[in-house]
Structure 1
Amino acid sequence: MPRSKIELRHVRYIIAAAESGSFRRAAQDLGVEQSAISRRIRDVEDEIGAQLFRRHPAGVDLTDIGKQFLNQAAPGARQIGSALDGARTVANRGRHLRIGVFGPLTMGFLSELFGAFRGDRPGVRLWFSEGSCPELIAAVRREQLDVGVVAEASPGKGFDVTHLWAEPVYVALPDGDPLADQKALRWNDLRDRHFVVTDLPTGDFAKGYLMRNLQTSTGDLQIEQLSVTRESLMQIVAHGDGVTIAGSAHVRHGLPGIAFRRIEDAVLRYGAVHPRGALHRNLERLLALAKSFSERDDAWFARQRLMRPEHRRVPHVDSHRGARGRTPDRLQ
């Protein structure tokens, strides 16, 4: 069979001319010269040996042969265009990663992880956004994010969690608070305290977490949600206007006027939520690096005030009460 010289652009030009009824308007719509439209359509007409369009002063109309040609060629051209758009979307994913994070990027694990990824894949841009855990999981499910780093959350069917690290929960108290004299505290020690949290996603999480763990009636809870940043919240605590809960990032750096005390058996587990199954190469590489970080020795985690996901907690033994409630044996 003779080899045709007709290309996809020939069909695109015919479709544009048929839809606009004019070679000139088709050229404007496609951003090309009118002569290019006329020449390519003439190429097709010469190859099939018949006219596709009737030319007249007001523009052009399809002939019967032109209508038959377009009815058969247009669906294929549109399918190829759709395939190209899909391939372009996948290719663009290879040049950036959309990452949602619950909490600050200054968290020791994430700071080192993303630094290592940038060194490994310098051509890949990282796009970050913060949100609540439910918001991030929903964004991953809608394919608006490639991965979401969340705390204490389950992504649901069709998605997986790569466990990254666990960390103790601390209460931030003003220096001089009587509870600051204790090395560690229990939830019972905090039931009558006035807690302050932000109205940011981390504050919403903190409020829900406190409500679950203080185990008291809603009317007795003293949790005030303020329109301030995390940094301003800590200043409010330092001035003695309330207490709050904090993670390892704040404790590691320390803040003037504030004492951090660990809450016994209070642990948060962080993980990366992502689609189940085959992943594109940059996300796969990021998760591989995250896994290698999770497998570091306990000394590195201790310096960061974190715990490895597989770290086993030893139950606290109180000489008066015996073995107390423990966190799940495996933090994963």
Structure 2
Amino acid sequence: MPRSKIELRHVRYIIAAAERGSFRRAAQDLGVEQSAISRRIRDVEDEIGAQLFRRHPAGVDLTDIGRQFLHQASPGAHQIGSALARARTGAAKGRYLTVGVFGPLTMGFLPELFGAFRCDRPGTRLRFSEASTPDLIAAVRRGQLDIGVVAEASPGQGYAITHLWEEPVYLAMPEGDPLADQKAIRWCELRGRLFVVTDLVTGDFAKAYLERQLQVPRNALHVEQLSVTRESLMQIVAHGGGVTIAGSAHVRSGLSGVTFRPIEDAMLRYGAVHSRGTLHRDLEHLLTLSKSFSEKDQARFVRQRLIRHELRREVRADRYRGARGRTPDRLQ
């Protein structure tokens, strides 16, 4: 049999013209040019060798051949249209991005970022998981995660990293602690203090971080790892059960009974790890949004107690001057 050039859109145009009685009104309903309607219908008429419509000043009417054609073609066209609609709905429901996060979703500008993405891509679901930075990078490299928000990650093989923001590390202590009167804390003042951390992945990171920064023998390090949530940990600090380190998300929450002070020369860098090469559209849009958030004006970052990546050198200089008698306002 000769191969036909007739496509589904030809049938859709014929149905629309027959229902509306006009090529012009059919074009308006379908959002196409009237010439497209006329051309596609003429294609069908040329292929079958007969007219489907009678043209007149008021519009168009189906011929006998046109009615016969539409009677046989309409059910198939409607069935294909319904199948396409159901398939689109199913695809939209099944579309999601897998997002791994080191730490709580309240970090940095993540709540605003994911809220903006949901508004822009309502058909794409976000599936979250929490893990350590090495585990998130490994999951991205294996293709198990689309993106991972990590701390203190360096570029490596099999993945790319987009820097998002940096933030100071704070000491969280009870309101009556002697160090609460200071504007900033030095690491040497924390040796011998009891630190409490969770047994979550952030607690593992905090314990290793304290070991590096305090520079004391392992047997002289006082870190107690507790099976509690982050919220419960802060209550333990408030009640005098020890001190801990915290990020800007905790400082912004203004927890009762807890005082936060920045630790000099303590800064954490956060970034988004993702695969290299061509990215699918949803992931590309999420990364585009993350870049736009990370490039917002510095005043907004100061309000969030965050630091833009490109301003790190300036902040280091501020901290050096602060150590000589002036603490930078952005870290207070």
- Confirm or deny a common fold (TM above 0.5): yes
Identify unmatched segments of 5+ residues in structure 2: 4-90, 326-332
Q: Is the 8 A contact 2:93 2:123 kept in 1?
A: no
| CA offsets 1:299-330 (integer angstroms, 9 cap, x no match) | 110111101111132423469979xxxxxxxx
Q: Is the 8 A contact 2:95 2:125 kept in 1?
A: yes
- The aligned residue for residue 213 of structure 1 is 213
| 1:308 partner amino acid | R
Q: Give the secondary structure class of the aligned counterpart of 1:112.
A: helix
Q: Is the 8 A contact 1:301 1:308 kept in 2?
A: yes
- The aligned residue for residue 284 of structure 1 is 284
Deviation, 1:98, is 0.3
- Alpha-carbon distance in structure 2 between the residues aligned to 1:189 and 1:247: 19
Deviation, 1:154, is 2.7
Q: Give the secondary structure class of the aligned counterpart of 1:296.
A: coil
Question: Residues 92 and 133 from structure 1, CA distance in 2 versus in 1: closer, same or farther, beyond 3 angstroms?
Answer: farther
Q: Does 1:252 align with 2:252?
A: yes
Deviation, 1:253, is 1.2
Runs of 4+ in structure 1 over 6 Å off: 91-94, 318-322
Q: Give the secondary structure class of the aligned counterpart of 1:185.
A: coil
Q: Give the secondary structure class of the aligned counterpart of 1:119.
A: helix
| 1:313 partner amino acid | V
Structure having the higher helix fraction is 2
| 1:127 partner amino acid | R
RMSD, aligned α-carbons: 2.3
| 1:180 partner amino acid | A
Question: Residues 321 and 168 from structure 1, CA distance in 2 versus in 1: closer, same or farther, beyond 3 angstroms?
Answer: closer
Matches within 5 A, 1:224-239: 224-239=224-239
Question: Residues 213 and 157 from structure 1, CA distance in 2 versus in 1: closer, same or farther, beyond 3 angstroms?
Answer: same
- The aligned residue for residue 313 of structure 1 is 315
Aligned residues: 236
Indicate the percent of aligned positions where both proteins have the same amino acid.
71
Q: Does 1:166 align with 2:180?
A: no
- The aligned residue for residue 262 of structure 2 is 262
TM-score by length of 2: 0.67
TM-score by length of 1: 0.67
Identify unmatched segments of 5+ residues in structure 1: 4-90, 323-332
- Alpha-carbon distance in structure 1 between the residues aligned to 2:322 and 2:289: 43
Matches within 5 A, 1:43-192: 95-154=95-154, 156-192=156-192
Q: Is the 8 A contact 1:96 1:124 kept in 2?
A: yes
- Alpha-carbon distance in structure 1 between the residues aligned to 2:133 and 2:117: 23
| CA offsets 1:131-179 (integer angstroms, 9 cap, x no match) | 1111111111111110000000135202110111111100000011000
- Alpha-carbon distance in structure 2 between the residues aligned to 1:266 and 1:134: 21
